[in-house]
A and B are shown apart, each in its own frame.
Chain A
């Protein structure tokens, strides 16, 4: 049986449909989850999609963090459930303190939407093990508050512990510290990523199919090798 991968929809989520579709293309069973429902429907992994949950009121991700479903996800993530936060989902993971640091407004204040080259820096997380170390991929980036910030001590620790999952290659699209595009928690089950792998899973609609690896990674992590 293919792994059940949930995608949570908040009021204002935009990319939940693409994330569900990416799960299906990767060979998983997509499961829709609802922010107001604390029941995670026995999923094997969860994706927090991009968008503008609660209109980004107060701070991006600040209100979504307190949704009933997030209470369940925070508990389950601490117990090892694989969780991927994309864009707004990354912001929610930082606000939930499942990941350190925060995302602030882009340095140049412009919303940036373009195809972006990344380098996969860590292949030991549940969401990146299908990639080769140092592999370069091109997937869309689209954010207004995508600059990752943390204090120097945290940034040093993330680098030393191999928890910087991906970095921007070429021009940094948002002023993110040390070109960070994504990070993981210590256990490697929780990953936050500012660019959008779910938009790069089919040749017809994406700049590449490079994003598929995030979804096949978690499926590989969940299905014991035959």
Chain B
């Protein structure tokens, strides 16, 4: 049996949607001395373990899961990629 494959789904608010959490983080950074950071956007990362190999069919299923549940495509973008584990 092949080792499980990890697929990473990154979910971010669309650029035009205000991200007050990211702004609050960005505002806190200078007070901690991190002065070179201009702005922050906060998102979510999902680590999905596949039962088998990352076939196109399996990745398609993850993409459907991302569009259906993991992300709300009305306000969020998502990116699905296979993570090569060492």
Which A residues are closer than 8 A to B by beta carbons?
Answer: 58-59, 62-63, 66, 94-95, 100-102, 104-109, 147, 149-151, 175
Q: Write the nearest CB–CB distance from A112 to chain B, whole angstroms.
A: 13
Among residues of B, the one whose C-beta sits closest to the C-beta of A152 is: B16
Known A106-B20, A107-B20: A58·B70 in contact at CB below 8 Å: yes
Q: Which residues of B are found within 8 Å of A175, using beta-carbon distances? A: 18, 20
Task: Decide if B18 touches A107 in the complex (CB within 8 Å).
Answer: yes
Is residue B83 contacting chain A, with contact meaning CB distance below 8 A?
no
Among residues of A, the one whose C-beta sits closest to the C-beta of B18 is: A107
Beyond A100-B74, A150-B74, list 20 extra A-B contacts (CB 8 Å): A58-B70, A59-B72, A62-B72, A63-B69, A94-B74, A95-B72, A102-B74, A102-B75, A104-B13, A104-B17, A104-B18, A104-B75, A105-B20, A105-B21, A107-B18, A107-B20, A108-B20, A109-B20, A147-B18, A149-B75
Q: Which residues of A are found within 8 Å of B16, using beta-carbon distances? A: 151
Q: Which residues of B are found within 8 Å of A63, using beta-carbon distances? A: 69
Among residues of B, the one whose C-beta sits closest to the C-beta of A100 is: B74
Interface size band for B? 10 to 19
Is residue B58 contacting chain A, with contact meaning CB distance below 8 A?
no
- A46, B17: Cα distance in complex, Å: 31
Q: Which residues of B are found within 8 Å of A147, using beta-carbon distances? A: 18
Among residues of A, the one whose C-beta sits closest to the C-beta of B71 is: A59
Contact with A along B10-27 (1 / 0, CB 8 A): 000100111011001000
- A59, B13: Cα distance in complex, Å: 12
**B window 21-58: CB within 8 A of A:** 21, 24
Known A66-B69, A107-B18, A149-B17: A101·B24 in contact at CB below 8 Å: no
- A26, B17: Cα distance in complex, Å: 39
What are 17 A-to-B residue pairs whose CB atoms are below 8 Å? A58-B69, A59-B72, A62-B72, A94-B74, A95-B72, A101-B74, A102-B72, A102-B74, A104-B13, A105-B20, A107-B20, A109-B21, A109-B24, A147-B18, A149-B18, A150-B74, A175-B20
Q: Closest 5 A-B residue pairs measured CB to CB?
A: A102-B75, A102-B74, A109-B20, A107-B20, A105-B20
